[in-house]
Amino acid sequence: MSSFRPVDPKQSFPEMEERINAVWKQNRVFERQLEQREGAEVWSFYEGPPTANGRPGSHHVLSRVFKDIYPRYRAMRGYRVPRKAGWDCHGLPVELEVEKQLGISSKQEIEEFGIEEFNRLCRESVFTYVEEWNRLTDRIGFWIDLDDPYVTMDSEYIESVWWSLKELYESDRLYEGHRVSPYCPRCGTALSSHEVAQGYKDVTDPSVYVRFPLTDRDASLLIWTTTPWTLPGNYAVAVDPGVTYAEVEIDGETLILADKLIEKVLGEGVTAERTFKGEELLGLGYEAPFPGMAENSGVFRVISGDFVTTDDGTGMVHIAPAFGEDDYRAAIANGLYDPSSRGPEGTLFNPVGLDGKFDSRVTGFEGEFVKDPEITAGLIDHLRKAGRLFRASDYEHSYPHCWRCGTPLLYYAKASWYIKTSEARDTMLAGNEKIGWHPEHIKEGRFGRWLENNVDWALSRDRYWGTPLPIWECSADDCEETFCAGSIAELEEKAGAVPEDLHRPYIDEVTWDCECGGEMKRVISVIDTWYDSGAMPFAQFHYPFEGKEEFEQRFPADYI
């Protein structure tokens, strides 16, 4: 009969763990396990990298325990399980940390300080807490190769990312587009859809019902909006031609709105004087919503919109193409704006700057942040004094904020570079079905829904510390020459010398003469840091320039 020594009731489990850890290290157990499995079937594990400019927390312990258990089990079953560590180095989190250190909070202040010095501090900041990360990794017994990590800011890693971007560019899946994207005015850059999803907050905003007086009859279109700040950018009003609308007499004035929304908007007992289809409204003109303020080049007429609903509001939508995706498409479809034109119709009226503040065309509000509650109150008061405000009330809803700095986002029309991820929607959905998700509900839940509603990825970021977008364009107005670098060698072939450090501002200084006589200059954007992370399966090996065999052995992953 087996017997065991009595367990000391005063046994210190932390001390026991440290003794075991010491034995593992003294005998090189992790390294020897890999050596013994040389030639065995590979079980591929990918380490999703942390950023070491922040301290590790308890949630990192939990995730790293999971990352350790499964590779250990597979190694004990006879597989060879390489475990390469990695560090995520780029992006807004790093920049914002440096901004805090410097006591600054805007892109203008960064550029006054100097991009070179700012990025030097970002590079230093990246590994601020690397020793704490290493101690945590060691202390919890997480077996991973910390001696040869991949580092996303290294030139070899960036070169692999550039290669992949050129593959997309040459297959017409990386393109420049002018469209409405979620935009953070504090950080001064567009955000991707998955970043937006991380920053929604429940807020209370003012909602207003506004009169838009028709120019050919004594009646007003009644418009509802929860973003009064967009009204100075109005171009048109959209209706559904097939919906029944009504003229309503109330307190001596005639208002027009969807028939089914009369009671909801105006209350019980109010009836229609006349009903008609929305088609009758198409082409009618109206007065600019902000009299006395700068009027834009819009024609102020009623147009058709396939996105108009009668679920809420008034069954009519005020169209400000610079501030809404549906608005933008409707303006193009109805000939109010042509992004391909170099004439007046190719200039989109936008009275809000990249800093989120009104410009001089919005009289009385120049230099004011559009989402400032006091400014919103001022806009509403302006409508009231002009006789345009029908009603104002508070409206509770979920609104997107920057996931990093907490600033309310604006939907803002600007040029950005996009990846055509929408083209691969069906392929990604099919791939999602093959993944064993834990917890399982993520497959059809949060991740699955995100894939189903996938839109093209807004890749470019108008920032400083990140992988530079490897696109060069000719500076001449009448030349459309563009070049995408897929390697350092390709860039050297065009420009001669290329800096060892591929970051800004050094890479911005790489130029060459275009055949037309103009100068080829880099598009100053960097890319979304999540693309850096997503490139890890191949970029960690410097593929395709090196590591071809190792990449092919370990792609795709068995466990992430």
Residue 344 confidence (pLDDT): 55
Confidence band for 291, pLDDT divided at 50, 70 and 90: low
- Residue 298 CB neighbours (<10 A): 19
- As beta bridge partners, residue 526 has 461, 468
Residue 316 confidence (pLDDT): 98
Confidence band for 84, pLDDT divided at 50, 70 and 90: very high
| Rounded Cα gap, residues 224 and 205, in angstroms | 13
Helix (H, G, I), strand (E, B) or coil at 295: coil
Residue 64 confidence (pLDDT): 92
Confidence band for 296, pLDDT divided at 50, 70 and 90: low
Q: What are phi and psi of 139, to 5 degrees?
A: -65, -35
Lowest mean pLDDT among 332-346, 352-366, 543-557: 332-346
Q: How many Å separate Cα 6 from the centre of its chain?
A: 59
Helix (H, G, I), strand (E, B) or coil at 52: coil
Q: How many Å separate Cα 138 from the centre of its chain?
A: 35
Average pLDDT over residues 326-350: 80
Domains assigned to the chain: 13-161+537-554 (3.40.50.620), 200-400 (3.90.740.10)
What pTM did the predictor assign? Answer: 0.86
CB 90 within 8 A of CB 467: yes
- pLDDT tens readout for residues 243-280: 999 999 999 999 999 999 999 999 988 989 999 999 99
- pLDDT tens readout for residues 378-422: 999 999 999 999 999 999 999 999 988 899 999 999 989 999 999
Q: How far apart are the first and last CA of the chain?
A: 45
CA-angle at 321, arms to 326 and 172, nearest 5°:
70
CA atoms within 13 A on the CB side of 382: 19
| Rounded Cα gap, residues 94 and 54, in angstroms | 9
CA-angle at 206, arms to 205 and 210, nearest 5°:
145
Rg (CA), the chain: 29
| Rounded Cα gap, residues 310 and 271, in angstroms | 17
Most distant CA atoms of the chain, gap in Å:
104
What does the chain come to in residues?
Answer: 560
CB 50 within 8 A of CB 60: yes
- pLDDT tens readout for residues 194-235: 788 888 999 999 999 999 999 999 999 999 999 999 999 999
| Rounded Cα gap, residues 121 and 488, in angstroms | 25
